Chains A and B, each alone.
Chain A
């Protein structure tokens, strides 16, 4: 079954555990494009500064040069392109998507993304952790946080890594929008922990979607903890699997099952586990609410520590997942100051804006895939890059408007 059209063809039965270089050599994730030295044509005008009112103009000449920076950049970062359709996205990561991604899917049938340096660095880190069997030697081994300016591609990088992990048979718990964990649904009392409020609506939808995406892997994971669902009377046993637990979910017992699912997630050893959270700084949103027991107040002001779902995934610097790691991406909707007080700086990966070279690669790929009918002029490419300040989101807008 092929998940990637035009770029990568992947067999379902192939499973690979190795470094990124070997991945590239075997061509598991698509073929490399533009790995050769790129020739850049530039126009230079030989002019000299002259203090006189009248001066002679030299004729302009066209030369072909290849800069050292370009060569070094090509060797360090093997740029690739990933094109996903809406169906492929749903099969791999679920129906619930980020708002921006959903807007793009509504406009176009497929979404082409450029695999950039932050993505490759994250994949290297995941491969390294898998090699050392997720043994945490330092605080940096617990988590990674993707941070950058608005529209630089943080969510896209997170989705790319999640997709890569899905293809590598990791058990991916993908949370596309962290704000829903805080602001969605009604609240009820949670009997297991009286300090927490249960979120049945959120948990029910999440478990349902998770089972649809990962039902095959869940059947192979056996339960390792002993518990009993009080509302339904369901009891765990060594013979039962995680799929049995999640498939028996009902609305009233969804919060309790979600709680035990998180506990089971910490003990999984059959598959490597990746928890991908988008908009992670929503969990550190400041709250001005005082009474935790009054559920009739404004839901938006509740502290996240008092909500069951967010409290389970909030702690990422010292999480208890034994065979997995956490990857998070920030959002610029709310401030990040409170989050950076907790997250160490070494765990943060910066997602830069597009360089002019990356933008040229992207344009060339769009021309090759016939998304653009003709290649724009070099001055036009530079103009688009300057107008958008190298912002990938803004570049997409300009391309859709002007072409």
Chain B
């Protein structure tokens, strides 16, 4: 209750602005430590010269009096700063003041931020500061712009520049992910200057091929193959070393083989040698027929119109149609069962 009363009285006294009373009261209350602490706070706010002097005096007295109850507050503040980090910071501040650095709050904040971030060490910070504050030293030759002699290749940095890992990385990246613009260069349609109009299909030039007085032709039908070679002779026809009658028992098969000779009216002009293999007799006879036509054309182009009109040079691509699932044959369905 006394504390509350004293505070109220102090305030009321101050408001009267009497010089004799305030000075006397201040001296009386100065004996108490409680008043000193409170006064310090208030006086600091005043701009009077007396208040300023009093502040200085109070600082000294604070260091001497340790028995007061209110010292605990100061102790609490010290305790807040009494950690190792705070102690080290204070030491660093002292060192900085010795060096000559300004001890402003801004610098202190920066130091703390850098320290807490862990991005830089304290020494790195000092090095950076020194580099920034110290002026650059230049060679005297550069100041006067004197032309320097051409260096030798081993001392020329640009002449024998060694490839660094980054250079290999760039080439590797270019190979992995090429420039997207290159596609436009490579595609012919993107460049109008490179476009060429379509050319019409030209007919194939027919040529004869006679080797050692003989020409040959090849053809196939179904699964049969036939190779025929002809040369001028007495009119003999051999198929796989046998006569036409021995090889083909049916007269229709023999007629197939002879048909190109009938159309060209050269039945007894050529010695024909036929090698047929694969498939059956019908396929072999038809393959031999077309191959014989080709051999005649290869010997003399004059036979081509007649053979072309007769259709003996045309390829017959018909084959046995495959059986389909659900059908008896290629197209025949299973017989209907009503019951």
The residues of A with any CB-CB pair to B shorter than 8 Å are 43, 45, 47, 49-53, 55, 57, 149, 151, 356, 379, 382-383, 385-389, 391, 394, 398
Contacts and interface: CB of A to CB of B under 8 A. Distances in A.
Contacts of A379: 262, 265, 267
Contact of B245 (A47, A52, A53, A394): A394
Contacts of A382: 235, 267-268
Nearest to A69: B234
A387 B258 contact: yes
A51 to B, nearest CB: 5
Nearest to A45: B302
B203 interface: yes
A389 B254 CA distance: 10
Interface of B: 203, 205-208, 210, 235, 237, 243-246, 251, 254-255, 258, 261-262, 265, 267-268, 299-302
Q: Is the interface of A mostly helix, strand, loop or mixed?
A: loop
Identify the 9 closest CB pairs spanning chains A and B, nearest first: A382-B267, A389-B245, A389-B243, A47-B302, A389-B244, A53-B205, A386-B258, A49-B208, A51-B207
A315 to B, nearest CB: 33
Given A379-B265, A383-B258, A386-B244, 9 more contacts: A50-B208, A52-B205, A55-B301, A55-B302, A149-B243, A356-B268, A385-B235, A386-B261, A387-B251
A401 to B, nearest CB: 8
A43 B265 CA distance: 9
Contacts of B299: 49
Contact of A47 (B235, B246, B300): B300
Given A55-B301, A57-B302, A388 B245 contact: yes
Nearest to A51: B207
A386 B235 CA distance: 8
28 contacts: A49-B210, A50-B208, A50-B301, A51-B208, A52-B205, A53-B203, A53-B205, A53-B206, A57-B302, A151-B245, A356-B268, A379-B262, A379-B267, A382-B235, A382-B267, A386-B235, A386-B244, A386-B258, A386-B267, A386-B268, A387-B251, A387-B254, A388-B245, A389-B237, A389-B243, A391-B245, A394-B245, A398-B251
B301 A49 contact: yes
Contacts of A356: 235, 268
B179 to A, nearest CB: 49
A345 B157 CA distance: 100
A244 B265 CA distance: 65
A8 to B, nearest CB: 32
Contacts of A387: 244, 251, 254-255, 258
A356 B208 CA distance: 30
Contacts of A47: 300, 302
A176 B210 CA distance: 51
Nearest to A353: B243
B216 to A, nearest CB: 16
Contacts of B210: 49
Nearest to B302: A47
Nearest to A379: B265
A334 to B, nearest CB: 17
Which residue, B245, B255, B258, B268, has most C-beta atoms of chain A within 10 A?
B245
A49 B243 CA distance: 30
Nearest to B299: A49
A356 B236 CA distance: 11
A316 B126 CA distance: 134
Contact of A386 (B208, B237, B302): B237
Contacts of B237: 386, 389
A386 B259 CA distance: 11
B263 to A, nearest CB: 11
Contacts of B300: 47, 49
